[in-house]
């Protein structure tokens, strides 16, 4: 039976965009319920959807609920109450295993956008998915439950770019460099573009897949100035990231690395915060006897990523530089997307980071509802056919562009 009715868990920047996009396709998706720790945030998203006139089929329900997603039984009850066939987990990645368990118990299809995190573990040993999600793959297979892991932009769309490269453009791939730059300006002294807690936890150690082996290096150790289309030369730093942990297993590629763009100012502030201990996930006790986690305090004082949207200018460029061979010839392609902060704000009231991460879960949900992406087991995005996904993303506002960077093209 086609899965229908969508439950969106979380009401942050990413969920805001996903909810807008799901509303625009609710003739296919059915009823939509947005549920989060703070119900008022869900209601704000619903008001924004109505304000923008994005609810395509007005006879379908758009509702909100309060939920603690760490409570599997409560999630099971919510899935049953809302008769949801698709669960889009866009809350913090600490809840992945609890929500996946609820889907296994109810048979609802599951999707997330980040690898599972444990409070007290940071940058887990590779392949990270094997420590949590992949342990449930057999149960998904036995019960015929679809679970699509890491279906945001990176991870997510970039995994589909890798699959696209292997399917249509290369016989053999040697290296994939995933490059993510935000060349925009939010006008604040310092802010992160998505959940600061998750964002900073990424920058602890770096795992890369080099010559078919896992290699560990210190954070921000290697810098490269890459000449991006449209946004020009930008400094990027070697960073650990979720998608390498699945791409290394499912793609036949020698080397896979992830590079994230950081300005010198960002690195300077980051180093100060890190050196004084404000990025620590370990609790400390104040002189007054109050136990606090420095990273959670930092999150509380930094700007909410959603609040950056109205004044954000400039563009993001995220893509995969793929090097390999086709028909015996060397080849180099950059497969990428460009998104404009101000255009995203005009369309859904969000900045481009939330937009690029929030549109793909909605596209994947539509493909699940249409049974085009319904593997009835657990998969990472690169295991699925990239064509229908990238076609739908184009229609939904995230076009795929391809630039041929084969060095021989530039000889003479």
Q: Which residues bind ligand NDP (CB under 6 A)?
A: 10-15, 36-38, 41, 67-70, 90-93, 95, 113-114, 152-156, 194-195, 198, 305, 357
Shortest distance, position 112 Cβ to ligand NDP, whole Å = 7
d(CA 345, CA 351): 6
C-alpha distances in Å from residue 402, one per residue of 207, 318, 320: 27, 12, 10
Instruction: Report the nearest approach of ligand NDP to the CB of residue 299 (Å).
Output: 8
Closest to ligand NDP by CB, 97 vs 323, is 97
CB nearer to ligand NDP: give 197 or 323.
197
Cβ proximity to ligand NDP: between 13 and 324 the closer is 13
Nearer to ligand NDP, 170 or 228 (CB): 228
Alpha-helical runs (H) found in 235-351: 242-250, 264-275, 294-301, 341-348
146, with CB counted inside 10 A (0-12, 13-18, 19+), is buried
Which residue's CB comes closest to ligand NDP? 12
Burial of 184 (0-12, 13-18, 19+ CB in 10 A): buried
Give the residue with the Cβ less far from ligand NDP, 75 or 206.
Answer: 75
Which residue number, 43 or 174, has a Cβ lying nearer to ligand NDP? 43
Radius of gyration of the chain (CA): 21
Q: Number of C-alpha atoms within 13 angstroms, CB side, residue 178?
A: 24
Nearer to ligand NDP, 71 or 174 (CB): 71
Separation CA 160–CA 386 (nearest Å): 5
CA–CA dist 194, 202 (Å, integer): 12
Shortest distance in whole angstroms from residue 13 CB to ligand NDP: 4
Q: Rounded CA gap, 29 and 82, in Å? A: 13
CB of 9 to ligand NDP, least distance (A): 6
- Phi/psi class of residue 140: alpha, beta or left (left: φ > 0; alpha: ψ in -120 to 50)? alpha
Place of tokens 């991870």: 155
> From the CB of 72, what's the least distance to ligand NDP, in Å?
11
**Dihedral class, residue 294 (left if φ above 0, else alpha if ψ from -120 to 50, else beta):** alpha
State in angstroms the smallest separation of the CB of 10 from ligand NDP: 3
User: Min. distance of Cβ 150 from ligand NDP in angstroms?
Assistant: 6
């Amino acid at each position: 039976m086609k899965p229908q009715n969508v439950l969106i868990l979380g009401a942050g920047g990413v969920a805001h965009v996903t909810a807008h996009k799901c509303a625009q396709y609710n003739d296919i998706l059915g009823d939509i319920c947005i549920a989060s720790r703070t119900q008022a945030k869900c209601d704000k998203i619903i008001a924004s959807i109505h304000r923008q006139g994005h609810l395509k089929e007005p006879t379908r329900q758009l509702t909100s609920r309060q939920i603690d997603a760490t409570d599997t039984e409560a999630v099971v009850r919510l899935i049953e109450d809302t008769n949801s066939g698709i669960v889009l987990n866009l809350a913090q990645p600490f809840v992945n295993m609890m929500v996946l368990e609820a889907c296994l118990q109810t048979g609802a299809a599951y999707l997330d956008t980040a690898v599972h995190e444990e409070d007290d573990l940071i940058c887990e040993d590779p392949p990270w998915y094997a420590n949590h999600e992949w342990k449930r793959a057999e149960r998904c297979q036995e019960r015929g439950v679809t679970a699509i892991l890491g279906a945001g932009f990176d991870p997510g769309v970039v995994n589909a770019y890798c699959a696209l490269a292997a399917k249509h453009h290369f016989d053999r791939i040697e290296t994939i460099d995933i490059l993510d730059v935000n060349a925009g300006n939010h006008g604040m002294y310092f802010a992160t573009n998505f959940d600061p807690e998750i964002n900073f936890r990424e920058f602890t150690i770096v795992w890369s897949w080099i010559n078919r082996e896992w290699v560990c290096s210190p954070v921000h150790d290697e810098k490269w100035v890459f000449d991006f289309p449209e946004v020009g030369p930008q400094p990027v730093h070697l960073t650990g990231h979720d998608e390498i942990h699945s791409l290394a297993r499912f793609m036949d590629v020698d080397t896979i690395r992830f590079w994230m763009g950081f300005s010198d100012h960002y690195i300077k502030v980051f180093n100060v915060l890190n050196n004084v201990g404000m990025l620590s996930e370990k609790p400390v006790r104040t002189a007054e006897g109050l136990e606090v986690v420095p990273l959670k305090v930092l999150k509380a004082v930094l700007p909410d990523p959603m609040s950056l949207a109205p004044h954000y200018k400039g563009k993001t460029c995220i893509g995969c530089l793929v090097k390999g061979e086709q028909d015996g010839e060397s080849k180099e392609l950059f497969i990428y997307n460009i998104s404009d902060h101000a255009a995203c704000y005009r369309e859904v009231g969000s900045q481009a980071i939330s937009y690029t991460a929030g549109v793909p879960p909605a596209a994947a949900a539509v493909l699940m509802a249409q049974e085009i992406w319904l593997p009835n087991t657990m998969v990472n995005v690169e295991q699925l056919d990239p064509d229908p996904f990238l076609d739908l993303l184009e229609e939904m506002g995230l076009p795929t562009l391809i630039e041929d960077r084969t060095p021989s093209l530039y000889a003479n």
